[in-house]
Structure 1
């Protein structure tokens, strides 16, 4: 019996081999050609890339040529451009090195006007003579162009091509700066500070600056405006780096003191303006006893010499065009002086030097005509651009300053006498006037349509005045008389604080804290203190308001002096007094608060402080000092009182 083939022991011859399909020999791998010759590319033929001639070119007997690739062509063009730039730089270097100095300035001026970034690039070139004094640039727009180019700062933003204010005669007034630096610093002042106060008429000041006239310009005033400009200037790579500004500012301040001692008794517009501006600077230095004395002295002299009256001889002129400019300037300057002394009366509790406001005012039609096509941009940047409404805002700011004056007078009256029902009636009248003022604002200067710094400052001015008025009633616990209109001081104040906090965030969103008008020290302090009373983990708004106020004061202290640091010290003191932990504040706020001890606030700062600035409405729950019952901190304290309390208090 035979076995099946698949069984164990089956016959092997039953296994049949499966036929296999023979494989084709593998094709030789075609070598990749990096680039085809010109002839093959033209007829779209695969080129074998052989050199010196490919297969196709050899067959047709044509020269085998290869053109440069796009990348190689670009590299060749770039190399040629670099060689050309080197040649041009070499020629320009010889011109700058050997050309007489008097012939060199027009060349640099032409380059600077047309292409400031080109002159900045030349300054960076190692081939140019670095020792040439004509290529010196500090605190000018050219320096910002260099930083802008090197650091790619501010995507989507572009810098001005030239300063908004341009002077060619600064050497007549000072030897400390040249025309480009002066133009840059004056542009900062007239962009950020002057639209808020309107102490200086820009047109007449620049006219006298260039013609060397002295009716609206003087060496003292020029140096003070340049010093203000230093407080607004910064380096684009880091606006906290202001070492050069501080160095120049110190030289300017030394010269200001010398000129003030010589000119302070002169009765003219530039000297009175200089005294008020110098007073504002002293306030930022933490010496507001001297500062307010200078402000009130300047305001009193202006009023006593009848410069605020229609037909004042100082503003008379034969030339028709200049006479119209004089009339406009008189209104601006008069209301600017009244405005500053009114705010000083409110904040520092001083009696007003003006029995009544100026009688000369801008009509609505006149303001609209002057504002036509007048725009504002945040120098040194070109954008964003807003309709300025300078004169319309000035018109309403003057009306508000009158109410600020009335509020300050009421507060001083209550300080020196017992509160009465008449006091309540007077307070109610002022409040209803404030409400009417707010309701009469035209749409074009509401914050939703106009976000310029001077317009946002106008809104903050209004809300701080309402807060100050409500403080009068809260402090004295006055009972509302029967028959008077409803006036809930606590509720009205709370609403004003809410609006002020929103405005601080609004300002930060649009403008940041690079260049900030001096009055923002006051608004940031008030907002920061009230933010502390509203802190909670669920109230993110007030954490952000406190952060913005602290950051704003921190950066303003770099440019404006000791008062910003004192305000920060007070905020830190109040945070400790309330035992606020880091869960209730942002990391940025905590980081700055940690810096307030030691080098940032020194013994010299504490000893040099002479500040009567009244810290507005410190909420009573922020002044509790249970750990030291013997230490009493009242709600309406001066900066110096609170700083002394902070120095003594150990929590």
Structure 2
């Protein structure tokens, strides 16, 4: 019916016949009555009282209702739609500009002729942002990126962060975060439930593989990123346990507020990710996978940095047993892996060799009996193609060629084999061997170390431009020398004058290696900055400091000690382990009644006043030894060697400037 009625109202002209065009009628003049009426104003806001009472508001202040009811009339300007619409529009514009800005910066990170063309265009034409967007849409469209691997990487880099505004509540981004361009890209989901911010996860992942991987290298990063960015939790080389463990350690390197589990509490760095990884391990109920073994080992380094290496040692032992299990069931591992057999075999070799090199470094610095056997007959292929580039992220510097990862792993494992013999001789059965036996072990180890250095390939030689992976390798070498000969530089009650020459020779070797460690730290500082180093570097620095304690009257030793102490002080606010180690060195200097130059006294005063509280001892669970006590051969040496026990004993000690002055006079 409606259709028929509607047809009746429409007059259809005959085909080809046009109705005559009529002149428009002149408009009627407005009446005086219409002019006298005020125009109706559209209300865009109501007062607070009318809103709460759900009454009609007249819109002026005071409004009619509030005057009638004799109440305060208050308007909230934030509720005015006339204000909110342009503000929302401006926010959208700023967000779009930020997206474009980050798209430009992330594109310029890469090297390509199209990127060079974009840079030249910006320099020559000086276009505005809208023009740059049109240029990029025209010359760098997404479908073009897929044509070459080089452009595909740019596309993936930009596309993965299409939403550049991290979900960080109401926190404002600082300049460092806005200008942060992680060299490694990773996804938050499905790997962790604690954040969905891909940018933050990429930041942490990049910190880990830039710094921690320089020494604790048992994760093949190419295979790891392949599986992580595929987003499939049922894969071989990535798992929620491994990712959360990596994020926990990486938080120890981060300045982002999200890295703290408790805002303002530096000791909580990474604790939330650690707790998540621990929960996931418990949920596995003993199940061992390739990625789980890697993650458990990573948690050891996290606990060690937190000053809880007693608990960490149990994780390290579990990781070693897990690798032994994977090796014993390797046929099943190769059969079920989602990669070819040779790739899986290479990854297992990588894990075993890498973990062995780092584990023995732990036993050396903690003065424990080795818990992992040398992987006999294993060697990774050396000088295999291009290992890519390295840069000291988050510092913005031009990348340099990375160290040959396989070469570094192989030679770190060879050092670990030498250190294993030393640790078995010195720390097995809880007693030190007689001096003649000790000299035989140390002499043999030193001969092997000399051969190791002679055979070192050119790619691992150290110079003023070496990357941290090579610097850490050489610090490891000198730490083995210092630990070995330190047990020969002290006198036992039964020693006679014939041992004096041996004692002096051992002392000279220890001090010489400590000087070289200081030089290596200087290279790191001058070339890459000292704000971030591999976690094990702190342990090597600590060993060097102990060996210089009684030689501070020597100008070179004094300078080396000052340099190493300042380097450790940089990491004390971030790493509790470094704090405890430095406190032990302070206590050792007091026990030895060693000479303390005024500048060294000032460093310890700064530490004690700014970074150490008497109650801090109670937060440590560490077996890290007081080196100067542990190496003593006389029977009168204190039985208290472990960090947590010594700190508990010395809790009431306050080293004032008067005490320092008194000791320095000795």
**Residue of structure 1 equivalent to 2:647:** 643
Q: Is the 8 A contact 2:290 2:326 kept in 1?
A: no
In the TM superposition, 1:332-351 aligns within 5 A as 332-351=350-369
Q: Is the 8 A contact 1:176 1:252 kept in 2?
A: no
Distance change in 2, residues 1:257/1:278 (3 Å): same
Q: Distance in 1 between matches of 2:244 and 2:316?
A: 18
Structure 2 residue 575 is the aligned partner of structure 1 residue 571: no
**Residue of structure 2 equivalent to 1:77:** none
Q: Distance in 2 between matches of 1:420 and 1:633?
A: 17
**Residue of structure 2 equivalent to 1:48:** none
Structure 2 residue 573 is the aligned partner of structure 1 residue 558: yes
Match of 1:215 among 229, 236, 249: 236
What secondary structure does 2:543 align onto?
helix
**Residue of structure 1 equivalent to 2:517:** 500
**Residue of structure 1 equivalent to 2:619:** 608
**Residue of structure 1 equivalent to 2:535:** 518
What secondary structure does 2:319 align onto?
helix
Q: How far has the Cα of 1:500 moved from its partner? A: 2.2
Structure 2 residue 161 is the aligned partner of structure 1 residue 163: no
What secondary structure does 1:297 align onto?
helix
In the TM superposition, 1:221-370 aligns within 5 A as 221-234=242-255, 249-263=270-284, 265-306=286-327, 312-315=331-334, 323-362=341-380, 366-370=381-385
Distance change in 2, residues 1:244/1:490 (3 Å): closer
**Residue of structure 1 equivalent to 2:212:** 193
In the TM superposition, 1:57-456 aligns within 5 A as 93-94=91-92, 110=103, 113-114=106-107, 135-136=165-166, 146-147=175-176, 162-168=181-187, 170-211=189-230, 212=232, 213-234=234-255, 249-263=270-284, 265-306=286-327, 312-315=331-334, 323-362=341-380, 366-370=381-385, 372=386, 374-380=388-394, 381-383=396-398, 385-413=400-428, 415-416=430-431, 418-419=433-434, 421-448=436-463, 451-456=466-471
What secondary structure does 1:558 align onto?
coil
In the TM superposition, 1:5-16 aligns within 5 A as none
Q: Distance in 1 between matches of 2:173 and 2:404?
A: 31
Q: Is the 8 A contact 1:460 1:523 kept in 2?
A: yes
Q: Is the 8 A contact 1:283 1:291 kept in 2?
A: yes
Q: Distance in 2 between matches of 1:434 and 1:397?
A: 12
Q: Distance in 2 between matches of 1:106 and 1:493?
A: 56
Q: Distance in 1 between matches of 2:581 and 2:266?
A: 23
Q: Is the 8 A contact 1:615 1:637 kept in 2?
A: yes
Match of 1:462 among 477, 484, 497: 477
Q: Distance in 2 between matches of 1:287 and 1:327?
A: 34
Structure 2 residue 604 is the aligned partner of structure 1 residue 593: yes
TM-score (norm 1): 0.67
Match of 1:533 among 540, 543, 550: 550
Q: Is the 8 A contact 1:620 1:635 kept in 2?
A: no
Distance change in 2, residues 1:386/1:579 (3 Å): farther
Q: Give the unaligned 5+ runs of structure 1.
A: 1-87, 123-132, 150-158, 237-241, 625-630
Q: How far has the Cα of 1:512 moved from its partner? A: 2.8
Q: Is the 8 A contact 1:368 1:391 kept in 2?
A: yes
Of 506-515 and 404-413, deviating more is 506-515
Q: Is the 8 A contact 1:527 1:545 kept in 2?
A: no
Q: Is the 8 A contact 1:169 1:209 kept in 2?
A: no
Q: How far has the Cα of 1:347 moved from its partner? A: 2.3
Q: How far has the Cα of 1:336 moved from its partner? A: 1.4
Q: Distance in 2 between matches of 1:553 and 1:460?
A: 15
Q: Deviations over 1:508-533 (max 9, x none)?
A: 22233212111122012112223332
Q: Is the 8 A contact 2:274 2:299 kept in 1?
A: no
Q: Distance in 2 between matches of 1:138 and 1:510?
A: 33
TM-score (norm 2): 0.66
Q: Deviations over 1:102-141 (max 9, x none)?
A: xx9987874563479x9xxx9xxxxxxxxxx9634769xx
Higher Cα Rg, which structure: 1
Q: How far has the Cα of 1:345 moved from its partner? A: 2.2
Of 209-218 and 433-442, deviating more is 209-218
Q: Distance in 2 between matches of 1:464 and 1:335?
A: 20
Q: Distance in 2 between matches of 1:377 and 1:360?
A: 30
Q: Is the 8 A contact 2:191 2:239 kept in 1?
A: no
Distance change in 2, residues 1:585/1:598 (3 Å): closer
What secondary structure does 2:473 align onto?
helix
Of 344-353 and 328-337, deviating more is 344-353
Distance change in 2, residues 1:575/1:340 (3 Å): same
**Residue of structure 1 equivalent to 2:117:** none
What secondary structure does 2:379 align onto?
coil
What secondary structure does 1:197 align onto?
coil
Q: Give the unaligned 5+ runs of structure 2.
A: 1-85, 110-121, 123-128, 130-162, 258-262, 660-666
Count of aligned pairs between the two proteins: 505
Distance change in 2, residues 1:317/1:346 (3 Å): same
Q: Distance in 1 between matches of 2:428 and 2:631?
A: 23
Q: Distance in 1 between matches of 2:98 and 2:197?
A: 12
Q: How far has the Cα of 1:224 moved from its partner? A: 1.4
Q: RMSD of the alignment, in Å?
A: 4.2
Distance change in 2, residues 1:215/1:318 (3 Å): closer
Q: How far has the Cα of 1:267 moved from its partner? A: 0.7
Q: Distance in 2 between matches of 1:244 and 1:138?
A: 18
Q: Distance in 2 between matches of 1:301 and 1:148?
A: 38
